[in-house]
């Protein structure tokens, strides 16, 4: 079959001619076939022993058992992983909550402080800077240092706050 | 060698024939073992996979409807086993699984002594060894197609049916495989000159 006579080779389509070795190459392939057959013969020439398939059945059973074991192991690992991650899924991380709560308190404190500041500012008397210019001139002519200090006092207070 | 030729089976007869499974094993075991041994280059693995092949066939005997020949069906099972075996061997790369491998020297030494002179025998052995070295370089599909064509002497259509490939794909693999063998042979002969 490997080597067709020349006539049958010519009858083949061109692409199949490429696939049909001829001459020495075909003889080499025939020798390869014979060699493989002869190499296999000692094993297969003997009659099939009784219980020949028992080994295969044993291997099949072992493979099944190993498969079941592997799947059980995988299932157990997956279950453990799920149980391990469960607390993280149900309870959000505490640091995040603390971070969200902390800024709220200063805001409340700031508001009250701000209200107090507003109250004090409203209750204060009119600052000297808002006094009529004539009065301001008088003040500047007499004790400038005292006036300056009294003028800067509320501003310093505001800066300090 | 035991002939593995069986007459074509009718659909109803196919299952009936498989009922006599011992006869199926007796007829097809040499062919399946030979193909597996050539595919794996490993006698022990071939023997184990031959057993697995017939066990699978026995367990699935009711699924065989006779749409293909028994030989094609068994070879297809063997092919699947080879694929699985090679995959698992790749996974267990730390194990030495080819201790009992049928190496190229063995193949060369199994040549029938039909040559007229010892020189011719040596020459034939050398050529067969070179072809076998090329076969070991093939991809899995090239090797399968090459062995089914030139060792099992299957027709291209039958190879296509067994492997599940297109006929054109089979031709392509075979063409490439033959080119590798020819290139190696020509390189060798050029080197000798």
- For position A134, what pLDDT does the model report? 52
- For position B193, what pLDDT does the model report? 45
| CA separation for the pair B175, A83 (Å, rounded) | 57
Residue A11 or residue B143, greater confidence: B143
CATH topology for B1-102 is: Rna Polymerase Sigma Factor; Chain: A (1.10.1740)
**Res. B3 pLDDT band, cuts 50 70 90:** very low
Q: Do B110 and A34 touch (CB under 8 A)?
A: yes
- Among A19, A47, A48, beta carbon nearest to B175: A19
Task: Say if residues B34 and A36 touch (Cβ distance below 8 Å).
Answer: yes
Residue B125 has pLDDT above 60, yes or no: yes
Residue B85 has pLDDT above 80, yes or no: yes
Neighbour-count burial for B117-137, b at 16+ CB within 10 Å, e otherwise:
eeeebeebbebbbbbbebbee
Biggest alpha carbon–alpha carbon distance for chain A: 138
Q: Is residue A50 less than 8 Å (CB to CB) from chain B? A: no
| CA separation for the pair A134, A153 (Å, rounded) | 21
> What is the average pLDDT value for chain B, to the nearest integer?
79
DSSP code, position B42: B
> What is the average pLDDT value for chain A, to the nearest integer?
72
**Res. B104 pLDDT band, cuts 50 70 90:** very low
Q: What is the mean pLDDT of residues B63-88?
A: 89
| CA separation for the pair A8, A22 (Å, rounded) | 11
- Among B34, B52, B132, beta carbon nearest to A40: B34
Residue range A78-99, pLDDT digits in tens: 999 988 888 877 766 665 555 5
Residue A66 has pLDDT above 50, yes or no: yes
Q: What is the mean pLDDT of residues A34-56?
A: 82
Neighbour-count burial for A149-161, b at 16+ CB within 10 Å, e otherwise:
eeeeeeeeeeeee
Q: Is this model's pTM higher than 0.80 or not?
A: no
Task: Say if residues A5 and B77 touch (Cβ distance below 8 Å).
Answer: no
């Amino acid at each position: 079959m490997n080597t067709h006579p020349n006539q049958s080779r010519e009858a083949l389509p061109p692409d199949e001619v490429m696939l049909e070795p001829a001459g020495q190459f075909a003889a080499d392939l025939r020798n390869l076939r014979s060699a493989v057959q002869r190499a296999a013969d000692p094993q297969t020439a003997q009659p099939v022993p009784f219980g020949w398939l028992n080994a295969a059945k044993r291997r099949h059973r072992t493979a099944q058992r190993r498969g079941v074991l592997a799947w059980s192991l995988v299932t157990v690992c997956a279950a453990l992983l799920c149980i391990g991650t469960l607390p993280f899924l149900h309870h959000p991380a505490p640091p995040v909550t603390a971070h969200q709560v902390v800024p709220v308190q200063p805001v409340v404190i700031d508001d009250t402080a701000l209200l107090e500041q507003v109250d004090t500012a409203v209750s204060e008397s009119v600052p000297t800077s808002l006094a009529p210019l004539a009065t301001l001139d008088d003040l500047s002519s007499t004790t400038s240092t005292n006036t300056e200090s009294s003028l800067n006092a509320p501003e310093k207070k505001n800066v300090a706050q | 060698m035991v002939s593995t030729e069986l007459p074509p089976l009718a659909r109803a007869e196919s299952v009936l024939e498989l009922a006599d499974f011992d006869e199926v094993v007796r007829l097809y075991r040499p062919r399946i073992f030979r193909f597996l041994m050539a595919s794996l280059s490993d006698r022990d693995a071939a023997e184990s996979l031959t057993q697995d092949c017939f066990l699978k066939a026995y367990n699935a005997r009711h699924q065989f409807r006779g749409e293909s020949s028994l030989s094609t069906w068994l070879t297809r099972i063997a092919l699947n086993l080879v694929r699985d075996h090679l995959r698992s061997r790749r996974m267990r790369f730390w194990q030495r699984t080819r201790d009992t491998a049928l190496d190229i020297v063995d193949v060369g030494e199994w040549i029938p002594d039909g040559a007229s002179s010892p020189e011719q025998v040596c020459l034939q052995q050398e050529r067969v060894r070179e072809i076998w070295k090329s076969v070991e370089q093939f991809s899995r599909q090239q090797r399968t197609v090459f062995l089914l064509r030139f060792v099992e002497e299957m027709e291209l259509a039958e190879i296509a049916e067994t492997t599940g490939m297109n006929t054109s794909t089979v031709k392509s693999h075979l063409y490439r495989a033959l080119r590798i063998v020819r290139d190696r042979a020509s390189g060798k002969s050029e080197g000798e000159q």
